[in-house]
Amino acid sequence: MPRITDNTIIRKRIDEVRNIMKKNSTDLYIVFTGDYHLSEYAGDYFGEREFLSGFTGSAGTLVIGMDKAALFTDGRYFVQAELQLKGTGIELMRIGVKDVPELTEYCIQNTPANGSIAVDGRTISASFGEKLEHKATKKNIKLDVTVDYAKSIWNNRPDFPYSKAFVSDNGETVREKLIRLREKINEKEAEGHIITSLDDICWLFNIRGNDVVYNPVIMSYAYVTDKCAYLFADKDRFSDEIIEKLQKDGVTLKPYEEFYDFLDTIEEKVILVDMKRINYCAYKKICNCGVETVKTLSPVTSMKAVKNPVEIKNLSDVHIEDGLALTRFMFWVKENAGKGITEKDAADYLDNERAKISDFIELSFETISAYGANAAMMHYSATKDNCATLKPEGMLLVDSGGQYMRGTTDVTRTIVLGPVSDEIKKAYTLTLKGMLALADARFLYGCTGFNLDILARGPLWEAGLDYRCGTGHGVGYLLNVHESPNGFRWKHILGQNDLCVMEPGMVTSDEPGVYVDGKYGIRIENEIVCVRDYENEYGTFLKFKMLTCAPIDLEAVDVSYLNEKDIERINNYHSWVYEQLSPYMCGEELEKLKRATVRI
């Protein structure tokens, strides 16, 4: 069960917000999840939506009206949100489900003509802000983007994020990156580029930090022109060595707090902006100064997604050590299920195994350790006081990863602890079949995740099964575990930016699954990297190379659902896993690896 906040506390907080709304003549108040940089995962300081709703998922938007409230979230969190919102008076709006209105439509429908909508404009994208503003104008609704109503009622609010920066320099210098970026700015006939996404900034300047748990970034803004590069981050975050290194690469440091005032002084007339990555307040500020904007995906986002040869080599190496930690955990949990251990004990054991790796920094997200029916919640979180005990039956879904100096990992294994039903075996086998089919794809350059998603989802669709999320997401390099613009999904999701053309060097997760409320959840996930295969008269063919290196539990596989190609893929993968991991094992541990990777 996820953590549940007393619904009377939530109701009281909502009422307090409504009192503030009434004083300010506000009809509707929107609370987003992110920070001023539109981060998927934000520091605790920005946990207003969780504070007001009790919903702890990483994606969701709270809308508070004077007589009703609603929370919008996606399919990953339907089950969790239903549990956490129960009794709060907040209606769950399931994004993508029939008859559920789009967020801006709901907001306009529930605000009277000549009314007022309030939102902190620093926490919404320029694209969303423009869309909301356009619709609001039609009903003469005022849009106030200068508010943070929770500020006055949130006692003991966590401090604003602060950590020291450190260097991550792998294969390309800051100067080299700036040269490439300036070329791309010029190609768009722009004179400057405002960058507000923390992962883009940290990648561009080869720095990392610890401002956001699991995401090694620092709070910062950046502005780059043909001649200048400004990094807005407090100077005391940096060592003298880092400051000197940045200055040599032509970077000028400015205080974080000066960013918005700086926008008033920009002399360039044509600025490149990513409407999904720049916040609405920053965007409106430059527009009000008469600056012309070129609206496009940030070149930094695209550059960052393509890992260079040094990064790919490091990722390949660290995935072997990460796979060793996961494999040893799998052996341990199979032996100890039924001996009193819990989901939380299992997560702690795996986390400790990862922490033994020499360049381990932190986890890449909170380990998901979900037993039985809990696994139907895609982002379930076990706590010491609220977790299930593992029995020698059913399955344990474990989704986990680490942040290392050599890169970021993300892997899921669904582990058989004892007898499982034929229904589960079928779902598990079809999930595995789809995961390996996508990983084994050969395709022409120009394909996006739209084109390839069916390879993973197809076996499940043929059986009338599906999962309410994408099949995969881009993965950063010692950065965010969820990274755009690459990914796999079968339909466009408003606000998502993860379906670019697949490029050699892009790292993407491959993670189909089946989730049945109240019964079970299955997910099998590997990271794969896109590589060039060959060229002929039809064009350039690409394929994927496996990065994740850990056995896939064979005890739930029903071979009657597999063809010869499927079996070949399973055996080839396990042969490679054994080849990579066996040199690090001996004795009984090696025998366990042999059994785990046996040919079927």
Q: What is the largest CA-CA distance in the chain?
A: 76
Q: Which of 557, 600, 558 is nearest to 575 (CA)?
A: 600
Average pLDDT, the chain: 96
Tokens of 575: 């042969």
Identify the pLDDT of residue 174: 98
Q: Which of 542, 523, 509, 512 is nearest to 435 (CA)?
A: 512
Phi and psi dihedrals of 91, rounded to 5? Answer: -80, 135
Identify the pLDDT of residue 494: 63
Residue 58 — very low, low, confident or very high, per pLDDT cuts 50/70/90? confident
- What's the DSSP call for residue 555? T
Q: Which of 92, 95, 233 is nearest to 162 (CA)?
A: 233
Q: Give the H or E element holding residue 72.
A: strand 69-73
Mean pLDDT across the stretch 401-427?
99
pLDDT digits (tens, 9 = 90+) for 515-572: 999 999 999 999 999 999 999 999 999 999 999 999 999 999 999 999 999 999 999 9
- Please give the Cα distance from 71 to 156 (Å, whole number): 24
pLDDT digits (tens, 9 = 90+) for 152-168: 899 999 999 999 999 99
- What's the DSSP call for residue 583? G
pLDDT digits (tens, 9 = 90+) for 176-230: 999 999 999 999 999 999 999 999 999 999 999 999 999 999 999 999 999 999 9
Q: What are the C-alpha distances in Å from 168 to residues 117, 204, 298?
A: 42, 10, 21
Tokens of 173: 């210098």
Per DSSP (E only), the strands in 493-592 are 507-510, 513-516, 520-523, 526-536, 539-546
Mean pLDDT across the stretch 173-177?
98
Q: Give the H or E element holding residue 557.
A: none
- Please give the Cα distance from 59 to 45 (Å, whole number): 16
Identify the pLDDT of residue 495: 60
- What's the DSSP call for residue 124? S
Give burial (CB, 10 Å; 0-12/13-18/19+) of 501.
middle
Q: What percent of the chain has pLDDT over 90?
A: 94
Beta carbons of 295 and 286 less than 8 angstroms apart: no
- Please give the Cα distance from 265 to 504 (Å, whole number): 40
Q: Which of 334, 330, 329 is nearest to 390 (CA)?
A: 334
Q: What is the pTM of this model?
A: 0.94
Pairing of strands 402-404, 407-408: antiparallel
Tokens of 214: 């699991």
Give yes or no for a cis peptide into 309 (omega within 30° of 0).
no
Sketch out the chain's domains with CATH numbers.
7-152 (3.40.350.10), 166-303 (3.40.350.10), 306-596 (3.90.230.10)
Tokens of 587: 């004795």
Tokens of 380: 């379930």
Identify the pLDDT of residue 496: 64
Q: Give the H or E element holding residue 485.
A: strand 483-488
Residue 1 has pLDDT above 60, yes or no: no
Q: What percent of the chain has pLDDT over 70?
A: 99
Please tell me the number of Cα atoms within 13 Å of 290 on its side-chain side: 4
Identify the pLDDT of residue 34: 87
- Please give the Cα distance from 515 to 83 (Å, whole number): 16
Residue 480 has pLDDT above 80, yes or no: yes
Query: Which value, to the nearest 10 degrees, does the dihedral of the CA atoms of residues 216, 221, 223, 229 take?
Result: -60
